[in-house]
Amino acid sequence: MLTKAPRGTKDILPGEVGAWTHVERVIRGLCDRYGYKEIRTPHFEHTELFQRGIGDGTDVVDKEMYTFTDRGDRGLTLRPENTAAAIRAYIEHKLYADGGLQKLFYIGSMFRYDRPQAGRMREFHQFGVEAVGEESPAVDAEIILLALDFLEELGLTGLTLKLNAVGCPQCRPAYRERLQAYFKEYLGELCEDCRDRYTRSPLRILDCKADAAQPFMAGAPAITDCLCAECAAHFDAVQSYLTAAGVSYTLDTRLVRGLDYYTRTAFEIAYPPLGAQSAVAGGGRYDGLVEELGGSPTPAVGFAAGIERVLLALTQQNLLPEEPPAADVFIIALGAAAGAAAFPLLHDLRRGGVRALMDYAGRSMKAQMKQANKAGARYAVILGEDELRSGTAALRDMTESTQETIPLADMVQRLISEVKG
């Protein structure tokens, strides 16, 4: 047990980290262009934050949270998502004091007790954005465009965008009643979870994977038939903005997402070749969450993307960049005296911006050349007793298989010039 990671977690090894940093570079560059600033919140929060924010009766709260009591008898939970935590930080630190729209993004680990599968581990990673303080449907459209731009900038193709309107506290009660009236005659055919949802949160029935194939699901009332005038106008405007931006989408009246805080717009972006785990990003508007968590009524909208699933999609389309060589220069020192002379040379190269390595074990010339090749070094500096006596070193171009003798005093500047151009 001590030599295995816990079930549902995964080490990201040195050869894999480059793919992650590639995705993170795209995220940070894109968020900078859109004007979103990074926020970092704790990995655990008070349990009540998620109970109130996500909603009792959701699978996340009822079945999937990692909750524990600390030594001060406080209930704490590893964050299963980050919107509630970002809004808690928004309220606690009075980010609203500047007025106007607060635009935040985050990258980090989330935790859910779920069956581990490709693209979804118990510790998983999300990139998310939150736009807090503006009710304009243009902000909904901006959030959706940012999500699409993120995925498309990585090179992904074949993406699908689904939209729905999930109403507001004014129009949702009427829809809730229509759903309960419709599903009443099918209660005996619903799964156990959905029979519980029937009373507590009937919209969740539409989100159930176990009952998705039931014939009667197709006839369930559509929430778009129950929208109030304000929600309908908002949804029409979101669609108009997306159409003006040249974005294709489909309407899906069963798309409700898995969290109770959503209002008005809900959306999901999928990469269909991933099959059952095809959703790579999703989100929507949550105008009641700030008030629910103790703040003033404040409109907000956001999304999150699962980084593991994005990486799976990138792998399928062969879009991950090649791992760069580990070194530009490898110093081959033959003997203790050469090793002592090579060490300050190594340091000077690194200070000059050159990725430089050397062998510390005193291996043979042949073994060190193998190391240089394995590291992908373009240049090898060969330093032995003869070179030390003459104050020179051999500089070998590993690509061209050419070699020349260079004064040691000139070596650092020569290599900086060669490597950095």
**Amino acid identity, position 188:** G
- pTM, to two decimals: 0.90
Give SS3 for 302.
Answer: strand
d(CA 178, CA 239): 26
In 55-189, which residue ranges form alpha helices assigned H by DSSP? Answer: 59, 83-92, 137-153, 172-183
d(CA 325, CA 18): 11
d(CA 31, CA 26): 8
d(CA 10, CA 288): 36
* 214, 216, 217, 223 alpha-carbon torsion, rounded to 10°: -170
Question: Which residues are CB-contacts of 407 (< 8 A; sequence separation ≥ 6)?
Answer: 391, 392
Instruction: Kindly list the structural domains of the chain, giving each domain's residue range(s) and its CATH number in brackets, ordered by start.
Output: 14-171+227-316 (3.30.930.10), 329-416 (3.40.50.800)
Q: How many residues does the chain have?
A: 421
Per-residue pLDDT in tens (0 to 9) along the chain, 421 residues? 678 999 999 999 999 999 999 999 999 999 999 999 999 999 999 999 999 888 766 778 888 999 999 999 999 999 999 999 999 999 999 999 988 899 999 999 999 998 888 778 999 999 999 999 999 999 999 999 999 999 999 999 999 999 999 999 898 888 888 888 888 888 888 888 888 887 877 877 877 777 777 888 888 888 888 899 999 999 999 999 999 999 999 999 888 765 567 899 999 999 999 887 789 999 999 999 999 999 999 999 999 999 999 999 999 999 999 888 999 999 999 999 999 999 999 999 999 999 999 999 999 999 999 999 999 999 999 999 999 999 999 999 999 999 999 999 999 999 999 998 7
Q: What is the pLDDT of residue 212?
A: 75
Give SS3 for 182.
Answer: helix
The answer to whether 247 touches 188, Cβ cutoff 8 Å, is: no
* 199, 110, 20, 359 alpha-carbon torsion, rounded to 10°: -160
Which stretches of 42-139 are assigned E, i.e. beta strand? 44-46, 67-69, 75-78, 102-111, 123-132
The answer to whether 393 touches 408, Cβ cutoff 8 Å, is: yes
